[in-house]
Structure 1
């Protein structure tokens, strides 16, 4: 998944401002306790990051974006 696609999905799911807040502030167990921003900076594949978001927010992510 391209980085632009990742951000688009995140913003569609949470809205622009909240998506940026989640990326900076929320640590994900599936990302070894890292935030989205930290994971991107460390070169984690965006598809892996997206799967972590879906796992953490299963009721929030629309089926079409999974």
Structure 2
């Protein structure tokens, strides 16, 4: 998954403003105690991060 697709899906699910805030501020143990931004910067694949977000935030299957 390309980062552009990842950010598009984040914006579609959370809304553009909240997606940025969520990615910056929400720490998830499933990402090793990192935020979305930190996980991406640490080299996690966008697809892996998106799967974690979907699982933690109960994103509907049709949006995954």
> TM-score, with normalisation over the residues of structure 1?
0.90
Question: Counterpart of 1:45?
Answer: 45
Q: Where in structure 2 are there 5+ consecutive unaligned residues?
A: none
Segments of 5+ residues of structure 1 without an aligned counterpart are: none
Helix, strand or coil: the match of 1:43? coil
**Corresponding residue for residue 64 of structure 1:** 62
Cα displacement string for residues 13-56 of structure 1 (whole angstroms, at most 9, x for unaligned residues): 00000000000000112101100110111110011100110111
What is the alpha-carbon distance in structure 2 between the residues aligned to residue 35 and residue 10 of structure 1? 14
**What's the counterpart of residue 19 of structure 2?**
19
- Kindly tell me the number of residue pairs found equivalent between the two proteins: 64
Match of 2:36 in 1: 36
CA root-mean-square deviation? 0.8
Dislocated runs of 4+, deviation >6 Å: none
